[in-house]
Structure 1
Amino acid sequence: MALEEVSPSAHSVNLSDLGDDNNSLFDFVDVEADPTTATHSTQMDQDINSNDYARQRRELLDLIIRLQAIGLGSELELPQIACIGSQSVGKSSLIESISGVALPRASGTCTRCPIECRLKRSEQAWEATVYLRFESGKSGYTGRTKETQFGLIANVADDRNIGDIELVKGLVTSYVSRPSCLILLTISCESDFENQGAGRLAREHDPQGLRTIGVLTKPDRIERGSERPWISMIKNETQSLRLRHGWFSVKQPSARQLEAGMSWSEARELDEKYFQDTAPWSTIEDEWRKQLGCSNLINHLGETLGKVILSRLPHICDEVDRLIALNASQLESIPPPPSLDPLAEVLQLVNSFTRDLTQHVQGDPRSGRPGLVQSLVMSAKAFQEDLRKITPVFQPTDKSDNAGSPDTPNFLPPGEEWPSKSEKGLTYWLNDVVELAEGARTRELPGEFPFAVTEELVMRTLHLWRQPVKDVFGRAERIFVRRLTALVEAHFGQYTHGGLRAVVQKIVLEKLEECKTVTVQELDFLLEMESLPFTLNSHYYLDYKEKFLKHYATFRNNRSALGRSLRAKPSPRREREETVADPLEAALENLRRAGFDNLNRQDLVKLLPADFSQQAALEIMASARAYYQVAYKRFSDTVPLAIDHRYVRGFEKAIQSTLVNGLKISASDAHDRCSKWMAEPQSIVRKRAELNDRKERLEAARMELMEVPGVVAMRERLSKMNCSSDRARLGSRNLSSTTQVAHAHTSSEQKVSSSPSSPVPEPISEAGPYGFAVEERAATPEPERETVLSLSPRDMMMGLRASAPVFSPSVSQKSNVTAVPAEPRLYTSHGRW
């Protein structure tokens, strides 16, 4: 059984009441059992509620009662007394003696329920309010409530209830394991201590006996001559059973006296008279008489519980502050309540949504690569790469020659990789183009070929652009829809219950479908525009035609002996003197004398005789390839621009008016519809109400606690003690860090000066969070002195330098680490980085 005796503030209790022991602020106040602190018999005879100190205790206990009344008993670890004991040891009788509440305690009767008693002084006549609570359950469900009286059971009458043993033990443990709970250990003198399991449970959770108060019941059941062990327990002489608060003994009425109708006051008188007249209790030394009788027990319980409450007040204040902060964060996590003007709020949501959408469409540099614009650019680059893969591949030799493929032209833009073999079947050999050209001739003069040949080669390629266009638009659509869905969820997701999110989502999807239709039409138009070759970019086209023609002709002529000779490097001067003069060099020299400067051997390739049809085929190849270079560059820009203009920006420009019209904001019933849309689910309403109610209760509790005199000073003292303890631990960890850091920095400076290209040394692991050491002035701090921590200015500067970013101008490689550049000379001799 557990007794919870509670009362409020102590107006004259200050920090000095806690003693010099710092542990009193963390655990329990040590109530010494010695003659100097003993309550005199004259005081014990008085009512415990009559003196000033008792009044101060009552105020502390009333404070705990008010905190429980606020509803924080289950959230805060409030001090209380848990009375525990085995079956039939007299727990109910003990509670009745303390509280005056009659409980069933006849022979063969068991209380059979946990009981919570809250004692509070009142100037009015005794009265009680009885609450009946009915609870329903289901099979397999174990109910829980707040229990403070526990009877440990060792046997059950039915195997079906054997689980009750562990259930009761678990209930007891849940209370006695709390550091703020005083354990009122009830032991019956009619059975050996070792046979009563409550003692083992109390020792398990309070091994040093700091918060256990022992009570011996039924002293009249001790057999004559067997009193010595029990007297030793009262005197706290038994080492294994010694408790800080000692052992008490009380005498309760017998069953016959109860049947005779003995009153509570008569039972108290009987208890006092028993210990005065009955040996060996009547002959015990005076210093231990304060451990006998219910009055002394009640007085000690009130005094101890009051001091426990006082010592726990700073921790309760901290816990209340923590719960207030937690409650505030939970309130922030739920949507705010609907405003009184739902129409204005819906308009505000629409405006906020469109502003965010515009920011995404315009581009946000802070979003990085996952941003909307950045993602669309990456998709456009993939589209450009797809177009390059469709490039027609021209081989300036006959297929039967097995002459291989020409090298990649060195005049193409860097970074552009062009296929040497077409995966789309667009590889054309020289004999294929000759055959196509010869077959297309009609009435042309000799040496002329119709433009239709070049057009045919170009159109065969451009017809394959439709699939890359579909792919790039599909990627853009997925990127935009994904981002748009996230924005709709962020702005309207909390209004799912009222249906606003669904309405907005429907309007958005319909508008997206309209924009998609317009965009597809625009892309089809762009594809249709490319159905006929055309360009005014003459310089770009003619330049590439000339370069490709030279590239193809050079590769073609390399096959002949003369061509190889023209491409061969000139012999060194020494070898030319020993051999016959090179006729090609002689020809080039004669041309230079005739005024044809800057000619080389490769320029003479153009003078080689060639088959007329093959030469025309090479020109057709160069024309088709040059035009593709022009057209692909143009098309790779216009398609992404069309998608951005028609689909992305087109949607962004129209969505605000579309939402306003689709939601019918200007209609006569708009207010009612907006109210319905903004309606919250009942779960959110209940949660907000619960959190607001909890906020009021916690703030009320903080006000109650702050009104206790001295509680602010106690919290400040506790905070200083915690800071001092943390500093001491930090100082012991970094006791020799100054010497280590100084040595490490000296070594690193030497390394840097001797090897400028060596990497920057790693930060010292023993240094502080910014690389500097924490210096302790005293290796072993004196008692009652705080450990003083200081930062050396040199260490602080070195730490700041160690945390500076390092930039390397070389490209980082995954396989190795690039060298760091030498230390710049712009720093002073003392400014090592």
Structure 2
Amino acid sequence: MDSDSDSSDSGHAGVGLSDPTIAKGRRAMLDLVNRLSSTGVQLDIDLPRIAVIGNQSAGKSSLIESISGVSLPRASGTCTRCPTECRLSRSSAPWRCTVELRFITDKNGTPLGQARTEPFGPPVSDKSDVEERIRRAQRAILNPSKLASTFLADDLDDGEHDANELAFSTNFISLAISGPDLADLSFVDLPGLIASSRGAGGSDREIKMVEGLVESYISKPSCVILLTVACETDFENQGAHHLTKKHDPEGKRTVGVLTKPDRIPTGEEDNWLPLIRNEVEPLENNWFCVKQPSSADLKEGITWAEARERENDFFSLTGPWATLDAMYHRYLRTPNLVDRLSAILSDLISKRLPEIHLELENALQQAKSGLSQLPPPPATDPVSQVAAMLSAFAQDIEKMVDGVPRVEGLIQRIRPAQQTFRKTIQSTVPNFCPLEGSTKADVAEDFLQSTKDDDEVAAGEMIYVDAVAEKADNLNSARARELPGHHPFFVQVTYIQEFTAKWDAPAHLLCRTVSRILGEQLRGLVSEHFSAFGQGLLAQRITMLLHQHLQQRTEAAHALVAKLIDLEMPAPLTLNDHYLSDYRTKYLARYRAAREKATNRKFATQLQNHRPYEDDGYSSPTTIDEILGKFASMGLSGLKAEDFAKLLPQDRMAPALEIMADVRAYFQVAYKRITDNVPLAIDYELVRGVGRDLLPLLYTNLGVGGKEGERICRELAQESPNVANRREELTKRIERLENAAKELVTIEM
């Protein structure tokens, strides 16, 4: 290339995209994408652009040079080892090129949450200096552990070219080129696809890396694929074409470019003409063929005007290109290709505008929603902020222990455990049977089913009346001042102690269960209030304090529960005489009736089924009615059928029945008392106890109210790095999207 800037400018003026006769509407479309790209919004939405791909040494760089008017670095082997973005913009100011480094991954290849742009030297005003600046910028990209400014030094050792840290990189060079003879356009020159891992090509890892990089661009629907195919290599061996078919199988957004037609082996020229005629591997935007100056031509200082003139002569005078029908000559020569690219890209932008509007709105809404879901940023007054957070936390604890109308609330989660405790205590009811143990099992079972309360579920073995009598007789030697025939009260106490001894384990199990549920609820509230604050330190310290506090309240609850159980153990006691007497009468009647039915079944059945005789014919006289009539004739009038029960001999098990009724009635009193008092004690000492005086406890143990309070609060109020990074990322995204939205509003069609 000519080193003289002016001659280069004049040689490149008026070619293709630089043609000042391009329609104003097309320029507006291309300019819009360039302005949108300058906002960085391509990180969020799919912007239309051109990606130049091809195999190694397929002539991509030469094609880029002919479009941009600047020379790219040339060397043996792979020339492009990282993407090079060219952003052309028309300007009335003098020609200039700004070089920037765009980092999307760190030095270890890990994607960055936010792309980083770093200027690489001052703007270039002489085209002849661009090639060297790009060469140095690529060195900086391939050596991420070193400062980029190192590679701007004038004494950079050229011998270090083979000592790069990376063979390829997804980070890229961005060239912002502006001048009076340029159109607004963006395109990316991607590293050439490596055909083999042998020799100078690269390793298998590098092959996959380059393929992945290329695919990350051409897989996007708004990417126009500029596919370069060198005519000096068999078409079937062009890996770039196979990759293009994968992402654009119908060829709707691919433009094919045949390069190096002057290197086609003699006699094989006709093999390439079917592509130009779109007869094989057809593309919607057709195949083109261009001829760029060779390395030798560039070393001789050929101008771009001379290069275009030689290209025109080649296609006009060299067969078989010169013999093609006139209609196919529009697919030959660089100016025709560049003009077609301009039209394709501007049409694509025009079609994509409504979609871009919608995508921007959706992306902006999502970003703002994500930002609103983050905790508020740290306040300038950390003492007040921490105090407010602790106060709000204590208030939520108070609401939680008071109860909230939510299925997963604390009280709602505790209630099943309380019901289980009640049923467990209830199941310890003495399983008394007023029949002897020799009674048939089905008769005894009939009694239990007919006499038990609806909510009774006795879990113990059946206690027969003769066993009760035997136990009373065995303990009769302990009779003190009781009259003969009366058993000592110690018999009832023994049975009562048997069931109260079973209450300790379920009571403490309820306490442990409530403590576990309460701990889970507390940890949830701590996370909700403090997880995104103080880099986790505040949440950690509060969790430890609450764990200790919960342990103390749990121990206090266990102690109170143990005291309540102990109160039931020594001897029975109740002042609820009426309640106890009612239950004693109820159960004694049940037991006596069952025995009468079992021992005098026929007589008891007669009494049970007896209905007084009525003269109206609705009932017939029974034996009992006849007997009552005979007694009346003897002068014993006024007797009733139920009076016959008094004729039965006295039950020898009557004392045992009274013991059973006493014990069963007292169980009812004590069971209801303990199933209320134990949950009440746990609620007072543990559930509500956790919330009592919580705020002073937190203030004291965190130290926020002491002399070091300000320092501690400032330390605790530091925002989590993850949250801070996320906030910064969303804030930058919102800024990008809003700037892009403003550009869309200001477009002039």
TM-score (norm 2): 0.76
Any conservation in 2 of the 1:566–1:584 contact (CA below 8 Å)? no
Any conservation in 2 of the 1:588–1:600 contact (CA below 8 Å)? no
**Which of the residues 648, 655, 673 maps onto 2:712?**
673
**Which of the residues 551, 564, 575 maps onto 1:526?**
564
Any conservation in 2 of the 1:396–1:429 contact (CA below 8 Å)? no
Find the residue that maps to 1:215 and give its secondary structure: strand
Equivalent pairs counted in the alignment come to: 652
Counterpart residue type for residue 143 of structure 2: E
Residues in 2 aligned to 1:84 and 1:448: alpha-carbon distance in whole angstroms: 110
For residues 30-72 of structure 1, the C-alpha deviation after alignment (integer angstroms, 9 at most, x for no partner) is: xxxxxxxxxxxxxx96775454645544443333333333333
Q: Which moved more, 1:534-543 or 1:507-516?
A: 507-516
Q: Which residue of 2 aligns with 1:185?
A: 227
Q: Which residue of 2 aligns with 1:551?
A: 590
Q: Which residue of 2 aligns with 1:211?
A: 253
Find the residue that maps to 1:380 and give its secondary structure: helix
Q: Which residue of 2 aligns with 1:78?
A: 47
Find the residue that maps to 1:240 and give its secondary structure: coil
Q: CA 1:172 to 1:516, structure 2 compared with 1: closer, same or farther past 3 Å?
A: closer
**Which of the residues 627, 652, 662 maps onto 1:586?**
627
Q: Which residue of 2 aligns with 1:763?
A: none
Give the alignment's Cα RMSD to 1 decimal: 4.0
Find the residue that maps to 1:239 and give its secondary structure: coil
Q: Which residue of 1 aligns with 2:195?
A: 154
Deviation at 1:704, TM superposition (A): 1.6
Q: CA 1:672 to 1:298, structure 2 compared with 1: closer, same or farther past 3 Å?
A: same
Residues in 2 aligned to 1:182 and 1:418: alpha-carbon distance in whole angstroms: 81
Residues in 2 aligned to 1:195 and 1:475: alpha-carbon distance in whole angstroms: 72
Find the residue that maps to 1:534 and give its secondary structure: coil
Q: Which residue of 1 aligns with 2:654?
A: 615
Counterpart residue type for residue 213 of structure 1: V
Counterpart residue type for residue 681 of structure 1: S
Deviation at 1:78, TM superposition (A): 2.2
For residues 623-675 of structure 1, the C-alpha deviation after alignment (integer angstroms, 9 at most, x for no partner) is: 22212222212222222222222322233333234334444554343222111
Deviation at 1:109, TM superposition (A): 6.3
Residues in 1 aligned to 2:197 and 2:472: alpha-carbon distance in whole angstroms: 107
Residues in 1 aligned to 2:551 and 2:229: alpha-carbon distance in whole angstroms: 82
Counterpart residue type for residue 695 of structure 1: I
Q: CA 1:118 to 1:539, structure 2 compared with 1: closer, same or farther past 3 Å?
A: same
Any conservation in 1 of the 2:533–2:719 contact (CA below 8 Å)? yes
Q: Which residue of 2 aligns with 1:175?
A: 217
Any conservation in 2 of the 1:185–1:198 contact (CA below 8 Å)? yes
For residues 600-625 of structure 1, the C-alpha deviation after alignment (integer angstroms, 9 at most, x for no partner) is: 45x6445422366x322322222222
Q: What does 1:313-332 correspond to in 2, within 5 Å?
A: 313-332=353-372
Any conservation in 2 of the 1:440–1:453 contact (CA below 8 Å)? no
Any conservation in 2 of the 1:397–1:430 contact (CA below 8 Å)? no
Deviation at 1:435, TM superposition (A): 0.5
Any conservation in 2 of the 1:361–1:649 contact (CA below 8 Å)? yes
Any conservation in 1 of the 2:82–2:168 contact (CA below 8 Å)? no
1:499 aligns with 2:545: no
Q: Which moved more, 1:74-83 or 1:336-345?
A: 74-83
Counterpart residue type for residue 439 of structure 1: S
**Which of the residues 86, 95, 101 maps onto 2:70?**
101
Any conservation in 2 of the 1:85–1:91 contact (CA below 8 Å)? yes
Q: Which residue of 1 aligns with 2:8?
A: none
**Which of the residues 275, 278, 292 maps onto 2:332?**
292
Find the residue that maps to 2:663 and give its secondary structure: helix
Any conservation in 1 of the 2:16–2:339 contact (CA below 8 Å)? no
Residues in 2 aligned to 1:260 and 1:121: alpha-carbon distance in whole angstroms: 29
Q: Which residue of 2 aligns with 1:484?
A: 522
Q: Which residue of 2 aligns with 1:133?
A: 141
Residues in 1 aligned to 2:229 and 2:420: alpha-carbon distance in whole angstroms: 84
Q: CA 1:651 to 1:682, structure 2 compared with 1: closer, same or farther past 3 Å?
A: closer
Find the residue that maps to 2:692 and give its secondary structure: helix
Q: CA 1:295 to 1:143, structure 2 compared with 1: closer, same or farther past 3 Å?
A: closer
Residues in 2 aligned to 1:109 and 1:506: alpha-carbon distance in whole angstroms: 62
Q: CA 1:439 to 1:310, structure 2 compared with 1: closer, same or farther past 3 Å?
A: same
**Which of the residues 62, 65, 84 maps onto 2:31?**
62
Deviation at 1:296, TM superposition (A): 2.6
For residues 70-102 of structure 1, the C-alpha deviation after alignment (integer angstroms, 9 at most, x for no partner) is: 333344322222333444443332222222222
Q: Which residue of 2 aligns with 1:538?
A: 577
**Which of the residues 616, 621, 631 maps onto 2:670?**
631
Deviation at 1:262, TM superposition (A): 1.4
Any conservation in 1 of the 2:430–2:460 contact (CA below 8 Å)? no
Q: Which residue of 2 aligns with 1:111?
A: 79
Q: Which residue of 1 aligns with 2:120?
A: none
Counterpart residue type for residue 315 of structure 1: E
1:251 aligns with 2:270: no
1:260 aligns with 2:300: yes
Q: Which has the higher contact order (CA 8 A, sep 6+)?
A: 2
Deviation at 1:441, TM superposition (A): 2.7
Residues in 1 aligned to 2:200 and 2:259: alpha-carbon distance in whole angstroms: 31
For residues 302-339 of structure 1, the C-alpha deviation after alignment (integer angstroms, 9 at most, x for no partner) is: 23222222222222333333332332343344332211
Q: Which residue of 1 aligns with 2:170?
A: 144
For residues 433-479 of structure 1, the C-alpha deviation after alignment (integer angstroms, 9 at most, x for no partner) is: 44046323344334444434333433343333322322222222222
Any conservation in 1 of the 2:60–2:189 contact (CA below 8 Å)? no
Residues in 1 aligned to 2:348 and 2:674: alpha-carbon distance in whole angstroms: 83
For residues 163-182 of structure 1, the C-alpha deviation after alignment (integer angstroms, 9 at most, x for no partner) is: 25555444444433433222
Find the residue that maps to 2:90 and give its secondary structure: coil
What percent of counterpart residues are identical? 35
Q: CA 1:199 to 1:693, structure 2 compared with 1: closer, same or farther past 3 Å?
A: closer
Residues in 2 aligned to 1:360 and 1:676: alpha-carbon distance in whole angstroms: 29
Find the residue that maps to 1:68 and give its secondary structure: helix
Any conservation in 2 of the 1:83–1:149 contact (CA below 8 Å)? yes
Counterpart residue type for residue 633 of structure 1: K
Any conservation in 1 of the 2:56–2:192 contact (CA below 8 Å)? yes
Find the residue that maps to 1:497 and give its secondary structure: helix
Any conservation in 2 of the 1:219–1:249 contact (CA below 8 Å)? yes
Q: Which residue of 1 aligns with 2:725?
A: 686
**Which of the residues 123, 137, 160 maps onto 2:92?**
123
Q: CA 1:353 to 1:290, structure 2 compared with 1: closer, same or farther past 3 Å?
A: same
Any conservation in 2 of the 1:395–1:429 contact (CA below 8 Å)? no
Any conservation in 2 of the 1:553–1:618 contact (CA below 8 Å)? yes
Q: CA 1:48 to 1:683, structure 2 compared with 1: closer, same or farther past 3 Å?
A: closer
Any conservation in 2 of the 1:395–1:428 contact (CA below 8 Å)? no
Q: CA 1:218 to 1:673, structure 2 compared with 1: closer, same or farther past 3 Å?
A: closer
1:567 aligns with 2:627: no
Q: What does 1:302-313 correspond to in 2, within 5 Å?
A: 302-313=342-353
Residues in 2 aligned to 1:186 and 1:249: alpha-carbon distance in whole angstroms: 9
Residues in 2 aligned to 1:585 and 1:621: alpha-carbon distance in whole angstroms: 38
Q: Which residue of 1 aligns with 2:418?
A: 380
Find the residue that maps to 2:512 and give its secondary structure: helix
For residues 742-767 of structure 1, the C-alpha deviation after alignment (integer angstroms, 9 at most, x for no partner) is: xxxxxxxxxxxxxxxxxxxxxxxxxx
Residues in 1 aligned to 2:676 and 2:422: alpha-carbon distance in whole angstroms: 9
Counterpart residue type for residue 378 of structure 1: P
